[in-house]
Amino acid sequence: MGALEGKRWLITGAASGIGRASAMLFAREGASLLLADLAAEAGQAAADEIAATGGRALFTACDVTREEDCARAVGCVAEAFGGLDGLLNCAGIVVRRSVTELEEADWDRVMAVNAKSVYLMSKHAAPAMGPGASIINLGSGWGLVGGPRAAAYCASKGAVVLLTKAMAIDLGPKAIRVNCLCPGDTDTPMLRQEAEQLGVSEAEFLLQSAHRPLGRIGTPEEIARAALFLAGDASSYMTGSILLVDGGGLAGG
């Protein structure tokens, strides 16, 4: 039996990057999955790949900044699998701008996708969960320390960190655990988009991102394994915790 055998999970941002890697791993560990993302073609392809290998996965197109979409996604899990045991909030975007460079619309969009979505999904998921359920929110190393030309992103991920702690306090009496997973630079499409936003070559940007004690950036699969730890019984006494997985990037900070 896998670590998540018989469990039912909803994963946002599941079409690519850490969300997709987590979906693949959770499926191999026995979970039934609802994958939610705006990228319908890639999201459906991820669900089809899981199904082709004997797993259980459905896809729903979902704008995580809209409450009706979040409520519908939770309803889909309950209808398809008979309940909900876990929520992994992976949806996220980045805009590399300082406060003085940032447009108000960009601020609003980053805060909505990265932070408001956690509130909306959790608002509807938690009532559908029973004792022993788990919510994992994807933060960032830059939710713990600041970074250059990333004002909205840092603010949004800092909000996720403290929202996680507040949710853990509120949901603890219901035996629902809430933890925050904070990756360092990870080789995802979003990381590579940052190079374009900053006007530097992708190779140069990835080389700079590898400046940490382990001398490399992470892989989505490595972050997914940390998510699996937070999802399963191995972390049964953890809630309100921040798990930093960054190759030592903040070890001296």
- pLDDT band of residue 157 (cuts 50, 70, 90) is very high
Asked, for residue 194, whether it belongs to a domain, the answer is no
Element (H, E) at 130: none
**pLDDT score at 69:** 98
In a domain, 74, yes or no: yes
Residues known to be catalytic: 153
CA atoms within 13 A on the CB side of 36: 27
Per the CB < 8 A criterion, the answer to whether 209 and 185 are in contact is: yes
96 pLDDT above the threshold of 90:
yes
DSSP structural state of residue 2? -
CATH of the domain at 62: 3.40.50.720
Residue 150 forms part of a structural domain: yes
Cα dihedral 48→54→60→64 (10° resolution):
-110
Q: How far is CA 42 from CA 14, 53, 211, in A?
A: 9, 17, 31
Within-domain flag for 109: yes
Whether 12 has a pLDDT exceeding 90, the answer reads: yes
Residue 104 lies inside a defined structural domain of this protein:
yes
pLDDT tens profile 161-177: 999 999 999 999 999 99
Q: Tell me what the mean pLDDT of segment 115-136 comes to.
A: 98
Tell me the β-bridge partners of 9: 33, 86
98, part of any domain: yes
pLDDT of 76: 96
pLDDT at 1: 79
Q: In the predicted model, is pLDDT for residue 205 greater than 90?
A: yes
Instruction: Give residue-wise pLDDT tens across range 170-203.
Output: 999 999 999 999 999 999 999 999 999 999 999 9
Q: Which pair of tokens denotes residue 222?
A: 């490595």
Residue 80 domain-assigned (yes or no): yes
Residue 107: band (very low, low, confident or very high) from pLDDT cuts 50, 70, 90: very high
| Proportion of the chain above pLDDT 70, given as a percent | 100
Which one-letter amino acid corresponds to residue 146? Answer: G
Q: Give the percent of the chain with pLDDT over 90.
A: 99
Digit-coded pLDDT (tens) for 54-71: 999 999 999 999 999 999
* Mean pLDDT, all residues of the chain: 97
Q: Is beta strand 56-61 parallel, antiparallel or unpaired with respect to 242-245?
A: unpaired
In a domain, 173, yes or no: yes
Instruction: Give CA–CA dist 88/238, Å, rounded.
Output: 16
Other C-beta atoms lying within 10 Å of the C-beta of residue 211: 12
User: According to the model, what pLDDT value does residue 159 have?
Assistant: 98
By residue range, what is the domain housing residue 92? 8-184+220-239
Helical segments of 185-219, H only: 189-198, 202-209
What pLDDT, on a 0 to 100 scale, did the predictor assign at position 253?
72
- Which tens digit of pLDDT belongs to each residue from 22-47? 999 999 999 999 999 999 999 999 99
Number of domains in the chain: 1
Whether the predicted model's global pTM rises above the 0.75 cut: yes
